[in-house]
Chains A and B, each alone.
Chain A
Amino acid sequence: MTTTIESTESETLRIGDAAVFEQRQQQFGMAGDWFAALQIENWKRYLELPRPTRVSEKWRFANIRFLDELENFCVAPLRAVDEPSLLERSERLSKVSGRLTFVDDNLAAPRTMSPELESKGVIFATLVDALARYPDLVKKHFMKHSPDLGSDKYEALHVALLRNGVFVYVPKGVVVEDPFIVNYWNQADDVAIFPHTTVVCEDDAKVTVLEFQESLNPDAAGLVIANAHMIAGDRAQPTHDIVQNWNRKTLSFQLNTNTVGAETNARGLIINLGSRQARQEVHGRILGSNSNVEMYSLNVPRGEQEFDQRTLQTHVAPKSRSDLLYKNALSDDTRTIFSGLIIVEPDAQQTDAYQKNNNLMLSESAEANSLPGLEIGANDVKCSHGATSGRIDESELFYFLARGIPKHKAQELMVFGFF
C-alpha cells in the first residue's frame, strides 16, 4: 500500500501562475475521471470566486491582508522524504490503531495499521490509495459537505490542488478502540500544502482520529489549506482531534464539517498553538434525533498570532444536543475572533444547543472579538450562547509572587486553571 516517490525535475509553479493547475494534473492525476473532473471544476470555481473583502460579514474583524500573499506560494513538489528525526518525532502514543505521516503532502513512511482492523474492513489509507482501491466509497463521501462560512474560494483551491490526504472508513458496528494517528508536517520554504482528512464512521461504529500538524523547519514560510470532514451514521461515536502547531511563519486554513445521524456521540476538538495567522471554519450538522455533538477548541496565541474561528451548529432534526466551547488565552499582541451561529431549523423541536466563547486576557494589548449568534426556527428549544472575557487579576498575580512563584510560572498556572 505504499506509494513510490520519485523526484521530478520540472519547475515548481506558484498558485498564481496560470499553468499551475495543468502542470499539477499532469504530474499527479489521481485515479478516477470523476476526481479529475471535480478538481477541474474546483479550479474553475477558485478562479471565479471573488476574494473576500473587509466588508464580507463572514470575514468581519479579520485581518484579510494575508489573502494577498496566498498566490505567491509554490505547490509542493513531489519528492522523497528523508528525514531521520521525523519518524521518531511522529511516534506519538504507543497504543495506536495505525499511523500515517506526510511531509509537504508526500507520504513520509510506510503506513502502519492493525491487521485485525483491516480484516474487519476498516480502511485507514492515503487518499491516493483509497481512490485507487475504493473509488465508489470515496466518491460517495468525498467533499459532500462544506462549512459554508466564508472560505469557499479556498475550499475550492484545496480540492483543485490537493494530491494526498487520509481516508478513514469504519464499517457498521466496528469499534476501533485505539486512535489512528495522522501527522502532517510542512518543511520547505514558500510551499503550499493541502492536507485532507475524511473520516466516515458508519452506524454503531466508533473511531478516534488524532491529527498533528507541525513544521519541521521553524523558519520556513508555509501555506496550509487543510480540510477535515467527519461523517457519522446512527449511534456512531467518532472523535476527531486536531493539534495545530505549524510554525510562526505559516498561514493556515482549517475547513471542517461534522455531519451526524441519530443517537450519535461525536466530538471535534481543535487545539491551536501555531501559525502566523490561522483561519478556521467548523460546521456541525445534526441530521438525526437524540444525538450529541461536541465542538471544542483551546487556543493559546502568543506574539502576534491571529486566530480567526467561525462556527455553525445546524440542527436539522429534533431532540438533539450540541455543545460548543471555545477558549482562548491571549498573550502579547495577539488577536482572536470567534464568530459562532446556532441554527435551529423549524423541525428541530426540543433542541439543546449551547455555545460559549471564553477569553482570558493575559496582556493589555491582546484583542478578543466575539460574535455569538442564534437563528431559531422552532419554538420549543433550549439554546444559550455567550462570551466572557477576563483579565488576570493583578491581586491574584501578586499572591503568586508573594509566595515566590515567578510571573511566567504564575501565568502558566492561571492559563492551566482557565482551561
Chain B
Amino acid sequence: MSELVIKNLNVSIGDRPILKDFSLTIPKGEVHALMGPNGTGKSTLAKALSGHEDYEITSGEVLLDGENIVGMEADGISRSGLFMAFQYPSEIPGVTIANFIRAALTARLEEGQNFSAPAYYKELYQHMDELKIDRSFTSRAVNEGFSGGEKKRCEILQMAMLKPKYAVMDETDSGLDIDALRIVAEGVNRMRGPDLGVLVITHYQRLLDYIVPDKVHVMWDGRIVKTGGPELARELESRGYDWVKEELAEPVA
C-alpha cells in the first residue's frame, strides 16, 4: 500500500479531455521520470493531482497509500503528503518565505503540538545553505522578483521542509544553469530514500544524469505509451519522439 497509484485518470480542461485513462504507479522509495512532447498533458497531470479546480477529474482514482485523494481540496491533498514542485511557481507579494513555509508547517501540526521557532529556523537555514540560497531570502516575499533558477530552488527548499511522502517535480530543471542544476539534483538525491516516491517531469536527459530514475515513462496524447529504464531517456534524447509515434502507429493486428 506504500505507493501512489493513479488509475484510469481522465481529466478535462473546460470541455476538452487532456488526460485519457492515465495510469501510473509510483512505489515509495522509487524515482520515476515522465517525459513527452509539449502539450501532452504532463503539467495537467501535476495540477489535477494537486487538486486544482480548473482541472476537472471526470473519472479515475488516485490512491495515496491507499487513500483516494480525488475530490479532496488542494490543501488537504498537500497535507496528506503529496508535494508539487510547479513548472511556474506563483509570486506572493507581501508574504515572506519564512512566514509562508511556517504557515504550511503549522497547518500540519496535530492538536496540542507546538511549533518551535528556533528548531524551525535551524532547519530552514540548513536546507538553504545546502541549496545555496542566501539566508537573506527568508525575509523576501515568496518568489517575488526571483530569477527562474531561484524560484526552482525555492520549490525544492519547500519540499525539503515539508517532507512529503510523494513529490511531483514539473520541469524543475528548466531555467537552471549548470551549477544550479547540480545543486538542485543533489538536494533531491538527499531526500531520496525508502520514505519518498518521486515523479520527475522533464524534457532533458541532463537532469536524469544526476537524478537517476528507476523507471522512465513516455507520455503521448494524455496517456503513458512506453515505459522503460534509464536507457529509454537516453534513447529519446538521441532519437526524439517520432519513433515512439511510429511504434504507436504500427498496426497491432
| A contact residues vs B (CB 8 Å cutoff) | 393, 395-396, 398-407, 409-410, 413-414, 416-418
Known: A404-B108, A414-B92, A417-B92. 7 other contacts (CB 8 A): A401-B74, A404-B104, A405-B75, A405-B104, A406-B75, A407-B75, A414-B95
- In contact, B73 and A401 (Cβ under 8 angstroms): yes
B142: chain A residues at CB < 8 Å are: 399
- In contact, B78 and A402 (Cβ under 8 angstroms): yes
- In contact, B74 and A398 (Cβ under 8 angstroms): yes
- In contact, A403 and B141 (Cβ under 8 angstroms): no
- In contact, B84 and A402 (Cβ under 8 angstroms): yes
- In contact, B90 and A404 (Cβ under 8 angstroms): no
B53: chain A residues at CB < 8 Å are: 398
B50: chain A residues at CB < 8 Å are: 402
* Consensus secondary structure, chain A interface: helix
Query: Is B52 positioned at the interface, with any CB of A under 8 Å from its CB?
Result: yes
Bound complex: CA A416 to CA B95 (Å): 8
Q: B127-148 toward A: CB 8 Å interface, digit per residue (1/0)?
A: 0000000000000011000000
- In contact, A404 and B51 (Cβ under 8 angstroms): no
- In contact, A403 and B104 (Cβ under 8 angstroms): yes
Q: Given known contacts A399-B89, A399-B90, is B104 in contact with A417 (CB within 8 Å)? A: no
Q: Could you tell me the distance in whole angstroms from the C-beta of A396 to the nearest C-beta in chain B?
A: 5
Query: Is B103 positioned at the interface, with any CB of A under 8 Å from its CB?
Result: yes
- In contact, B51 and A401 (Cβ under 8 angstroms): yes
Which chain B residues numbered 92 to 114 have a C-beta less than 8 Å away from chain A?
A: 92-95, 99-101, 103-104, 107-108
Which chain B residues numbered 27 to 73 have a C-beta less than 8 Å away from chain A?
A: 50-53, 73
Bound complex: CA A145 to CA B78 (Å): 58
Query: Is B158 positioned at the interface, with any CB of A under 8 Å from its CB?
Result: yes
Which 6 pairs, one residue from A and one from B, show the smallest C-beta to C-beta distance? Answer: A417-B94, A404-B78, A401-B74, A399-B90, A404-B79, A403-B104
Query: Is B160 positioned at the interface, with any CB of A under 8 Å from its CB?
Result: no
Bound complex: CA A405 to CA B78 (Å): 9
Query: Is B162 positioned at the interface, with any CB of A under 8 Å from its CB?
Result: yes
Q: List 20 A-B contacts (CB under 8 A).
A: A396-B90, A396-B92, A399-B89, A400-B92, A400-B103, A401-B51, A401-B73, A401-B75, A402-B74, A403-B75, A403-B101, A403-B103, A403-B158, A404-B104, A413-B103, A414-B92, A414-B94, A416-B94, A417-B93, A417-B95
Q: Given known contacts A396-B90, A399-B89, A417-B93, is B74 in contact with A409 (CB within 8 Å)? A: no
Bound complex: CA A271 to CA B107 (Å): 29
- In contact, B78 and A401 (Cβ under 8 angstroms): yes
Nearest residue in A to B143 (C-beta to C-beta)? A399
Bound complex: CA A407 to CA B75 (Å): 8
A398: chain B residues at CB < 8 Å are: 52-53, 74, 90
Bound complex: CA A407 to CA B99 (Å): 15
> Which of B74, B89, B141 interacts with A417 by CB under 8 Å?
B141
A395: chain B residues at CB < 8 Å are: 90
Q: Could you tell me the distance in whole angstroms from the C-beta of B43 to the nearest C-beta in chain A?
A: 13
Nearest residue in A to B158 (C-beta to C-beta)? A403
B92: chain A residues at CB < 8 Å are: 396, 399-400, 414, 417
Bound complex: CA A75 to CA B127 (Å): 63
- In contact, A413 and B95 (Cβ under 8 angstroms): yes
Q: Could you tell me the distance in whole angstroms from the C-beta of A365 to the nearest C-beta in chain B?
A: 19
